[in-house]
Amino acid sequence: MDLRPKGTTAVFVLLVLFTFCKFSETQNLCWVENNVALLIFFPENNEIGATVTSLTAEAGVTATITRQDPEGLFSLNEYDLIAVTVLDFETFDPNKPHEVNIECTRADSPSTTLNLKIVVEDTNDNPPVFAQSQYTLDVDELSKVDTSVGLITATDPDKTARLFYQLDSPEGEFDLETNFNPNILVTKVLDYDQTKKVTMTLYVQDTPIGSKAEASHTASTTIIANIIDIDNRPPWIQPCTEAVLGTSKVCMSSGYEGTVNLNEQATGPLSLKPGPVMAIDGDTGRNEPIGYAFLGGNVDDVFQIDNDTGSITMLKPVGVAGPIVLSVMAYQKENADQFATTTVILKVVKTTKFPPTFVKPSYEGFISKDAGLDSLVLESKTSNRPLRVQATDKDFSDGYNPNLRFEFVAGTDFSITPEGFILMAKTVSPGTVHLEMRVVDTDNEESSTASLVVEVTSGGQQVKAGEFSSGDMAAVGASLAVVIVLCLVCIGLMVHRIKGHNTDWKKISEASAFRSTLGGGSGGPKVGVQYCNEGFQLDADSGSVNSKLAADLENKLESGLNKTTPSALLQTTSSPPVDSSSLSGSETIDGEKEVKPILTKERRNEEGYKAVWFKQDVDPSTKEEVVIIPDAGEADAGHEEDDDTEEEDDLRTDMDSDDEDGLMTDDL
C-alpha cells in the first residue's frame, strides 16, 4: 500500500513534528515502518477487513487500541490495523482525519503509545448530478447571436472531479460557451412565428470530452427554451397576404367593399366584402387589443366606426352618388405607434322592388364520379341533358336581368358558369352533396338563394363542358336534314313560279325588241307609227307576240321584201288614223301586194294584220316616246331563265338584219 501522503495541512505538520520529537527521546516498543509522522492515507470504498497499516514491534510486545475517533472504524489483528467498515470520502472531513491510539506493552519495559492519523482518500466513484431533471428558459425572438440565455451546471460528490459539458440542440439554435463552462448562447436568430419552442439536452461527465481515459460517470438534463414573441409588428388587417422580407414579415390587405342605398339609412353594421373590418396583432403570441378609427375620406358625419369591433354604421342617409371611400386605421390600444391602415369603398346604388330569384327553390342533378374535372352536372341519370339553373328579376318586364352572378355560398367541389351550368371542380366520392346557391344582382348586391342536391354516382358516361354526346350529334343531324328538305321545297316552288311567268315576260321582251327595231335603236318614235292598247286587257290569246310576229317577219324576209324602205311605210304620229283604203296608191312589192302598217290603233281580226299591245293607252297626238318597262318581278324571273334571254337575243339579231336591208313592213 502506498502510504505516501498526498496532501497535508498545518495540523498535520504540527502532529508530525511532535511525534518525531517524542520518538527521538524514548525507545519505542512498536512503530510504523517508514512513517515517522504516523500519517496514513487510505482510499474510500474499501472492503471490510482490509489492512489500513501494519506495526513493527519488539519481541514479546502486545499491541492494543486504547482510543479511536470516531469509534468502531478500525481494529487490530496482532500488529495489523484493519478497517471494520467501508469508509466514504464524501462523509469524511479532510480537516479532521480519523485518530487511532495504539499502546504497545511488555513486562520489562515501559509501554509505547502510537497516535495514528488516518486520512480517507477520494476516488471517482460518484456521477455528476443536475439539480433538476428539466430546466425552462425564456428567450426573446430575434435575439442577437451570442446572446447568453442561461447557465446550467451540475455537481459531483467527488469533490476533486472536474466536469465537462455538451449541449445537443436540434437545429443548432443554441450552443455552450465552452465545454467546461455551460453558459448557453444563441447561435441563430429565431422567429416566434417559425419557432415557438426548442427542446435541448445538456450532458455532463467527469472526464474530458473525447478523452480515451477510463469510462467516466455521466448525467443529463432537459432544457426547454420558450421563444417569446416580442412587440415588433403592427396589427394585420384581415384577410391579408403574408410576405417575408429577410427576418421581417408583412401582411398586405386589399381593403373592403360594400354597397349602400341612395337616400336610405341602413340599420345595423354595413355588410362588407370579403368580411367585416377586422385586424389582429401581427405578433400573434402577444395578441394585444386592437382599436379602430377613421383617418379621413368623405365621411361627412354619415358613418361611424366602433372603436372596439370595427363595425361601420350609418348616422344618416347618403344623398350623393358614390363611390364613397373611407380610410380606416387599426392600432394597438397600448401602443398606438403600432398601426395599419386600409380603405373601405362603398358603392351607392338605387334600390329595386324585387331581388333576383331562382326559377325553382331547389334543384337536383346527377354526375358520375369518373366524369372528370369540368364535367357538367346532368338533369337525370338517363340523359345527357345538362342541368341549368336560371333566375328571374321582376324589376324587368321580361324577367331577364343581364347583371346576375351565380355562386355557391360554401363549398368548392362544384362551380357555376355565368350561364347557370354546374361543373365539377374537384374529384368527388360517390354519394349525395348538398349545396346552397346564390344569385346576386351585381348592380346593387341584392340576392336570393336556392338549394342544390347533386347525386354522385359510381359510374357511367358524362358530358364535359364544350363537348357533345352522340345523341346531341344525332339531333343536330336530324335538324339539318329537315332544313335541307325545306330549302329544296322552297327552291322547287320558286322554279315553278318563274316558269309560270315566262309567257308574260316574253311578250314584254319581244315588244321591246321590236320597238327598238322600228326606232332604229334608241331614238324617238318614228313617223307613221301609231300606238294603242285598247284591246290588250281583253286579249285572251294565249299565243305570244314572238310566235306570230317572228314567223311573219321570217316569211317576208324569205320573199325578198328587203328592198322596201321605212319611209314608204311609216306615217307621223300626228297624222290622223289611216285605214286600208288610204294605202291603195302606195308602192307594192312582189306581186303588187298592199303594204300596211303593223301598228294600228284598232285591233283587227283580218288576215295579214299584226299588232303589239300595251298595258297602258298611249295618245298618238302627244308624240311621246314609248318606253317599254317590264314589270320588276317578271323581269327578274325572265332574266333568270337562259332560254328567254336566248330567244330575245335571236329576235334582236333578226331585227338588226331587217334594218340593214331596209325591211320594215309586212305584206298584207
Secondary structure (DSSP) of 548-563 = HHHHHHHHHHHTTGGG
End-to-end CA distance of the chain: 183
Q: Beta-strand (E) ranges in 122-179?
A: 129-130, 134-140, 148-151, 154-155, 164-168, 174-178
The model carries a pTM of 0.44
Q: HEC string of 599-650?
A: CCCCCCCCCCCCCCCCCCCCCHHHCCCCCCCCCHHHHHHHHCCHHHHHHHHH
Q: Is 233 exposed, middle or buried (0-12, 13-18, 19+ CB in 10 A)?
A: buried
Across 164-168, 508-512, 568-572, the highest mean pLDDT is recorded for 164-168
Per the rule left: phi > 0, alpha: psi between -120 and 50, beta: everything else, 379 is: alpha
* CA trace torsion 347, 348, 351, 354 (10° rounding): -10
333578226: which residue's cell?
Answer: 654
Please give the average per-residue pLDDT across 423-427, as a whole number. Answer: 91
Low-confidence winner among 9-18, 200-209, 375-384, 629-638 (lowest mean pLDDT): 9-18
The DSSP code for 487 is H
Of 653 and 284, more confident: 284
Residue of 322, 347, 340 whose CA lies nearest to 270: 347
Weakest mean pLDDT among 140-154, 328-342, 437-451, 531-545: 531-545
Return d(Cα 453, Cα 364) in angstroms, integer. 5
Give yes or no for residue 135 having a pLDDT over 90. Answer: yes
Q: What is the pLDDT of residue 653?
A: 44
Structure confidence at residue 10 as a pLDDT band (50, 70, 90):
very low
Give the pLDDT of residue 297. Answer: 65
Least confident of 81-85, 104-108, 319-323, 328-332: 319-323
661 grid coordinates: 336591208
Give residue-wise pLDDT tens across range 458-498. 865 555 555 556 666 777 888 899 999 999 999 988 888 88
Verify cis geometry, omega within 30 degrees of 0, for the bond prior to 274: yes
What are the grid coordinates assigned to 265, written together?
339609412
Residues of the chain with pLDDT > 90, as a percent, come to 40
pLDDT at 45: 84
The pLDDT value recorded for residue 623 is 53
